[in-house]
């Protein structure tokens, strides 16, 4: 599953997304909150820095850019300095802002957050100041936006509506956008507003309400996944949708289509800030669906992206690399440590790309004992990823004789897999691991001190490539051979 998702994410391409919505400017004023004002019981913020970020639908545009998509923006801004800042941010991400209509008597929606820095590093929001008008637009402005929408629709692969309940999506206007998109054969995805009348979204391809929004719209109090299933069934029928995706925070997401009913769990994370999570979900869904994947796969990708975003402060983008890294990490944790040489080299390429040091060692590890445990602990201290080359049964017989191994290669590998000090195991047939070492290309090659005089196989190759060879101390008297001989001796004494 992970390999397929990774391949899809890496090949999303550059879809064109027509994004209509409430475009906001998020302003963060950071400062040290070191004392309480003598004028009132409030903290005094000594300003350290200011930062402007795209918010609302503009946040979705930034998220789409991070995923390689091209965004065509449609919405309104004021004739003010904040509009210039917002357009500059959007253009910087490669978005087309020609569809942002300027309205003189309507300010660019701006959310200004004042953030205190505890010990200069831990941000904590103290106050938010909003500047906006949220009543519906005049008819002339709606007509101008519709004309722009019709003009740009043919350029898009998919359409998104991001409704922040700021007055843009008046019922007839919203219905017109949906009707035009469907007539043009375009999927149209909607991130609905809280407390909105969902009837205006009727006929869309999919909606992505969160738990609260879906509860309000369906009349089902969503406390558990079963409740989400009931709510999704109501909404898909009532609104004549292709899909409903209900985001369930720590419980992941619930997907309902005409043929699929599926709960897609997520990994529980330390949530830092939920701002922008819905934007990332909408953007990743749009990018994936525009690339031709099905709803189930698209939701799996958006689940990962949303989980990454909530660990960041404020509205933040999630890149393709971050999603791939997360999927690779999950694959490593959930998959078997036992790999073929081809599988292993693919995994190690990723680790090397992330500056992780690979350590290689090898052996029969026939009857596990204390010496093995301490040896592998030593290996783990030499780098980040420990690859254990395990002699196959055939190889062990060649080295140790026809009575060995005591435990077959699968049993030996299974026991070694349970050790935290071992990251990967590759089984080799040859009497020595040289060919395996050449494929693994380790940064560090570890053998026991007893190999000092015998010569470490692979030393020349590793050192020529800039790596090093380290000899590990041995636990005196501990070896598989000694353990087996002791067992044989005990067996004879019993007779």
* Same domain, yes or no: 465 and 352: yes
Work out how many domains the chain is built from and give that number: 2
Instruction: Confirm whether 139 is a catalytic residue.
Output: no
* Same domain, yes or no: 313 and 343: no
In this structure, the strands spanning 122-131 and 158-162 are unpaired
Among residues 105, 187, 177, 188, which one has the least CA distance to residue 147?
177
* Same domain, yes or no: 135 and 193: yes
pLDDT higher than threshold 70 for residue 321: yes
Share of the chain above pLDDT 90, in %: 61
pLDDT higher than threshold 50 for residue 311: yes
pLDDT higher than threshold 50 for residue 310: yes
Q: Residue 334: what pLDDT?
A: 58
Share of the chain above pLDDT 70, in %: 90
Least confident interval from 131-145, 323-337, 373-387, 478-492: 478-492
Contact 224, 208 (CB under 8 A): no
Q: Residue 51: what pLDDT?
A: 92
In this structure, the strands spanning 253-257 and 243-247 are antiparallel
Using pLDDT thresholds of 50, 70 and 90, give the confidence band for residue 187. Answer: very high
Using pLDDT thresholds of 50, 70 and 90, give the confidence band for residue 335. Answer: low
* Same domain, yes or no: 290 and 356: no
pLDDT higher than threshold 60 for residue 272: no
Please state the pTM of the whole predicted model. 0.68
Q: What's the CATH code of the domain at 459?
A: 3.40.50.620
Q: Which of 306, 333, 360 is the last residue of a domain?
A: 333
Domain encompassing residue 421: 338-494
* Same domain, yes or no: 408 and 318: no
* Same domain, yes or no: 318 and 348: no
Query: In 30-93, where does DSSP find H-type helix?
Result: 57-66, 81-92
Rg, the chain, Cα only: 30
H helices, E strands: number in the chain? 17, 18
* Same domain, yes or no: 413 and 296: no
> Across the strands, what pairs with 30?
49, 115
What's the whole-number mean pLDDT along residues 285-289?
93
pLDDT digits (tens, 9 = 90+) for 188-217: 999 998 877 899 999 999 999 999 999 999
Q: Distance between CA atoms of 440 and 418, rounded to whole angstroms? A: 22
Catalytic residue among 279, 393, 423, 443: 279
Q: What's the CATH code of the domain at 173?
A: 3.40.1190.20
* Same domain, yes or no: 415 and 448: yes
* Same domain, yes or no: 342 and 329: no
Helix or strand or coil: residue 210?
A: strand
Q: Which of 333, 366, 387 is the last residue of a domain?
A: 333
pLDDT digits (tens, 9 = 90+) for 35-93: 888 999 888 888 989 999 999 999 999 999 988 999 999 999 999 999 999 999 999 99
Q: Which of 290, 305, 333 is the last residue of a domain?
A: 333
Q: Distance between CA atoms of 492 and 404, rounded to whole angstroms? A: 19
* Same domain, yes or no: 362 and 315: no
Task: Enumerate residues 6+ apart whose C-beta is below 8 A from 41.
Answer: none
What are the respective helix, strand and coil percentages of the chain, to the nearest 5?
40, 25, 35
Q: Distance between CA atoms of 390 and 416, rounded to whole angstroms? A: 10
Q: Strand order of the sheet with strand 122-131? A: 43-56, 23-36, 109-118, 122-131
Sign of the four-CA dihedral 301, 304, 310, 314: negative
In this structure, the strands spanning 261-264 and 109-118 are unpaired
Across the chain, mean pLDDT equals 88
Q: Output phi, psi for 271, to 5 deg.
A: -80, 125
* Same domain, yes or no: 113 and 245: yes
* Same domain, yes or no: 189 and 43: yes
Q: Distance between CA atoms of 402 and 393, rounded to whole angstroms? A: 10
CA torsion 28→33→36→42, rounded to 10°?
Answer: 20
What's the whole-number mean pLDDT along residues 332-355?
78
Exposed, middle or buried by CB within 10 Å (0-12, 13-18, 19+), for 11?
exposed
Which contiguous run of DSSP H or E holds residue 109?
strand 109-118
């Amino acid at each position: 599953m992970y390999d397929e998702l990774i391949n899809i994410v890496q090949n999303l391409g550059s879809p064109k997304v027509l994004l209509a919505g409430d475009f906001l400017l998020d302003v963060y004023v950071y400062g040290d909150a070191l004392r309480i004002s003598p004028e009132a019981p409030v903290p005094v913020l000594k300003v350290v820095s200011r930062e402007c970020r795209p918010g609302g639908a503009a946040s979705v545009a930034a998220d789409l850019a991070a995923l390689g998509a091209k965004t065509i923006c449609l919405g309104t801004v004021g004739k003010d300095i904040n509009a210039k800042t917002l357009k500059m941010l959007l253009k910087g991400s490669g978005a087309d802002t020609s569809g942002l209509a300027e309205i003189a008597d309507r300010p660019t929606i701006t959310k200004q957050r004042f953030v205190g820095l505890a010990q200069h590093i831990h941000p904590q929001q103290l106050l938010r100041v909003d500047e906006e008008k949220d009543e519906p637009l005049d008819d002339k402005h709606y007509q101008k936006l519709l004309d722009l929408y019709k003009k740009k629709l043919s350029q898009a692969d998919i359409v998104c509506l991001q409704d922040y309940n700021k007055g843009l999506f008046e019922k007839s206007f919203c219905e017109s956008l949906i009707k035009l998109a469907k007539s043009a054969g375009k999927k149209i995805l909607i991130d609905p507003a809280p407390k909105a009348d969902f009837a205006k979204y009727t006929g869309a391809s999919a909606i992505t309400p969160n738990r609260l929004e879906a509860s309000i719209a369906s009349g089902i109090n969503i406390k558990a996944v079963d409740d989400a299933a009931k709510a999704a069934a109501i909404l898909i029928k009532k609104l004549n949708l292709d899909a409903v995706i209900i985001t369930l925070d720590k419980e992941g997401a619930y997907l309902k289509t005409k043929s699929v009913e599926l709960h897609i769990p997520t990994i529980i994370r330390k949530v830092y800030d939920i701002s922008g999570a819905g934007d990332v979900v909408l953007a990743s869904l749009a990018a994936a669906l525009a690339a031709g994947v099905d709803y189930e796969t698209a939701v799996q990708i958006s689940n990962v992206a949303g989980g990454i975003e909530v660990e960041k402060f404020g509205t933040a983008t999630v890149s393709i690399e971050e999603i791939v890294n997360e999927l690779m990490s999950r694959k490593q944790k959930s998959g078997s440590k036992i790999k073929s040489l081809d599988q292993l080299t693919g995994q190690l390429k990723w680790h090397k790309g992330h500056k992780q040091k690979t350590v290689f060692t090898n052996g029969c590890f026939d009857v596990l004992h204390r010496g093995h445990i301490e040896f592998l602990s030593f290996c783990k201290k030499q780098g980040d990823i420990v690859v254990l080359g395990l002699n196959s049964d055939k190889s062990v017989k060649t080295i140790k004789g026809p009575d060995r191994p005591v435990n077959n290669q699968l049993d030996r590998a299974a026991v070694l897999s349970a050790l935290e000090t071992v990251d990967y195991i590759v089984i080799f047939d040859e009497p020595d691991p040289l060919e395996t070492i050449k494929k693994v290309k380790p940064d560090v090659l570890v053998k026991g001190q007893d190999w000092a005089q015998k010569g470490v196989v692979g030393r020349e190759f590793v050192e020529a490539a800039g790596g090093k060879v380290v000899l590990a101390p041995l636990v005196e008297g501990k070896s598989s051979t000694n353990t087996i001989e002791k067992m044989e001796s005990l067996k004879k004494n019993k007779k």
